[in-house]
Amino acid sequence: MPIIKDPHLFNEQSLFVDLEGVLDCRLYLKIEGFNFAGSIKLKPAREMVERAEREGLIGPGSILVESSSGNLGVALSMIAASKGYRFVCVIDPRCNPATRQLMESLGAQVDLVTEPDPVDGFLGARLNHVQDLCASDERYIWLNQYTNPGNWGAHYRWTAPGISNQFPELDVLFVGAGTTGTLMGCARYFREHRPDVRIVAVDAAGSVSFGGQPAVRLIPGLGMSVRPPQLDESLIDDVVMVEELDTVRACHRLAAAGFMLGGSTGTVVHGAMSWLTDHGAQDLTAVAISPDMGRPYLDTIYNPDWVHDHFGAAALASAGLTGAPDRRSDPVPEPQHPAPVPVADYVGTAALGNFLK
């Protein structure tokens, strides 16, 4: 086992799960959550901070600031704590409570925007707040994951080569789309080194990144309310949109087999399954990237009350959940031994003045 002095120096990058026995289709899942930040966002967080250090942008008294739906905020909180920097993370109400608590436990200041921008939604509101902070004090340094080349560069440098080396016969790669850092880094690498590999982007319904109509999204991570500045669709072969209920179902199907993974992972897995089925491609060598782990979603995706409240009673059964929505108040007179649960194109027209700066 390695001996490290800084938390960002540990990141298990070579773990893959064969999901054929769980999903009844050939799909390998690259697990990216085994690090102290708990997600794939450790890579771009480390790359962006170290890039800023090399360029002399961070100095004594600097305050790092970033807009995040959760995972990048945790990664930056951890790195800031390790390096002795102050960090402010700007979030919106979709951020999981456990994620916010984790950032604060690591010493970060968490600023919550409660009202969406009338045009650009919560993302626009977060960015407006970041810009206000930077205008108020020159000590604030915005890493800007949305345009920072370190975002996609981290995955070009680490994620894609790891997949390519493990799967020399790879046919198709499924990558979730948020800021599109992971997607663009992997797409650029494979276009340059193995152009025969098909790149399929997986996005959340309600996201506008690939032309869909904007809609309310409850699960943080994937999807954008404005077009991602880093996105280059010429590098992508196909796009799959996934409804949030299907994300919940996929998460519970994986958990029923012992793999408790996060909401972004559920979206990518369902998108991969759908694409493979629709294309009759069950014999292809396919890999999907799992960005996150499941614990931050205990209060949401894995909570029957939350699923019931947002998707209706029928969703409980379809997601593989049991129990009444008020189960917490039901007495349990004796230990119970239940039977096993069965495994059950918008182009952003809104302009954010300094978004690309």
Bigger pLDDT: 332 vs 100: 100
Residue 306 has pLDDT above 90, yes or no: yes
Over 50: is that where the pLDDT of 49 sits?
yes
**pLDDT band (50, 70, 90) for residue 322:** low
In which band, very low, low, confident or very high, does the pLDDT at 351 lie, cut at 50, 70 and 90? Answer: very low
What is the percentage of the chain residues whose pLDDT exceeds 70? Answer: 89
- Residue 338 above 60 pLDDT? no
Report the C-alpha gap between 34 and 78 in whole angstroms: 14
CB-CB contact of 63 with 31 (8 Å):
no
CATH number of this structure's domain 42-142, picked from the four choices 3.40.630.30, 3.40.50.1100, 3.40.640.10, 2.40.110.10: 3.40.50.1100
Q: Among residues 286, 196, 194, 285, which one has the least CA distance to residue 240?
A: 286
Alpha carbons within 13 angstroms on the beta-carbon side of residue 103 total 30
**Domain locations along the chain:** 7-31+158-295, 42-142
On the question of pLDDT at 324 being above 50, the answer is no
Report the range of poorest mean pLDDT among 27-36, 98-107, 142-151, 308-317.
Answer: 308-317
CB atoms within 10 A of CB 277: 12
d(CA 321, CA 342): 9
Indicate if the pLDDT at residue 14 is higher than 50. Answer: yes
E strand residue ranges, the chain: 16-18, 28-31, 63-67, 86-91, 109-112, 140-142, 172-176, 198-204, 238-242, 286-290
Confidence check: pLDDT of 38 > 60: yes
At 239 the pLDDT is: 97
**pLDDT of amino acid 319:** 61
Q: Which residue has the higher pLDDT, 330 or 211?
A: 211
Encode pLDDT of 1-12 as tens digits.
Answer: 689 999 999 999
Strand pairing report for 238-242 and 140-142: unpaired
pLDDT score of 161 more than 80: yes
Specify the pLDDT at position 236: 97
7-31+158-295, CATH topology level: Rossmann fold (3.40.50)
Query: Quick one: pLDDT at residue 34?
Result: 96
Average pLDDT rounded to a whole number, residues 80-86: 95
| 162, burial (CB in 10 Å: exposed 0-12, middle 13-18, buried 19+) | middle
75 φ, ψ (degrees, to nearest 5): -60, -45
Do residues 90 and 77 make contact, with C-beta atoms less than 8 angstroms apart? no
Average pLDDT over residues 227-241: 96
Give the integer Cα–Cα distance in Å for 282 and 24.
Answer: 9
Given this model, what pLDDT does residue 279 score? Answer: 93
SS3 at position 335: coil
Q: What's the pTM value of the predicted model, to 2 decimals?
A: 0.86
Query: pLDDT band at 120, cuts 50/70/90?
Result: confident
Taking the C-alpha atoms of residue 214 and residue 349, their distance in angstroms, rounded to an integer, is 12
Beta bridge pairs of residue 67: 90
- What is the band of 312 on the pLDDT scale with cuts at 50, 70, 90? confident
pLDDT score of 176 more than 90: yes
Fold match, 7-31+158-295 / 42-142: yes
Give the residue among 296, 289, 79 at the shortest CA–CA distance from 187.
289
Q: What is the mean pLDDT of the chain?
A: 88
- 313 pLDDT band, cuts 50/70/90, is confident
| pLDDT tens per residue, range 243-253 | 999 999 999 99
Higher pLDDT, 356 or 139: 139
Helix H or strand E encompassing 203: strand 198-204
